[in-house]
A and B are shown apart, each in its own frame.
Chain A
Amino acid sequence: DGGITQSPKYLFRKEGQNVTLSCEQNLNHDAMYWYRQDPGQGLRLIYYSQIVNDFQKGDIAEGYSVSREKKESFPLTVTSAQKNPTAFYLCASREGQLYGYTFGSGTRLTVV
């Protein structure tokens, strides 16, 4: 079955450490997205990519970086510059701008 796989499900980061969240899709979607969700809050867009080797910043891109070397993969790196990274991270994809999102199951990141 097609879908989006995020890993790991839980991730712990030490102060000053960079960590990378994985997102893989086999839906053949061109567009992929990263959102962050804090408790009781809505989703906030971090980065998105509409095509391989191209990506754009969202509303809260500071302290994050992405790459899109393959259509299927859109990893997110949370750098040490992100001072408050504890949150639920959601990767999504869609067929085009007028289609609904398919979300992965998320990665819960905690700073220890």
Chain B
Amino acid sequence: EIVLTQSPGTLSLSPGERATLSCRASQNVYSSYLAWYQQKPGQAPRLLIYGASSRATGIPDRFSGSGSGTDFTLTISRLEPEDFVVYYCQQFGSSPWTFGQGTKVEIK
């Protein structure tokens, strides 16, 4: 099973700042098989990024993804108030599909 480790666990920033979230895999993940989700309290996750770097439909361009192999990054260029929630990475290159433990972005 591929273990995904997200860091930091909590990121404290101010609106307008840049957020950089990390996802490290225990084994190589083919880039096409790495996704990022945003989850607001009481809601289902929402797909932000697929294929490591492609934005899903309707996702603002302040969200971007990068990386390959075992190291992937989600960047939010300028934090908006609604971005202060939890983010998960997910791999589906090797079954079982697995998620990272999440990074919470909180207001500083």
A binds B: no
Enumerate chain B interface residues (CB-CB to A < 8 A): none
Interface residues of A (CB under 8 A from B): none
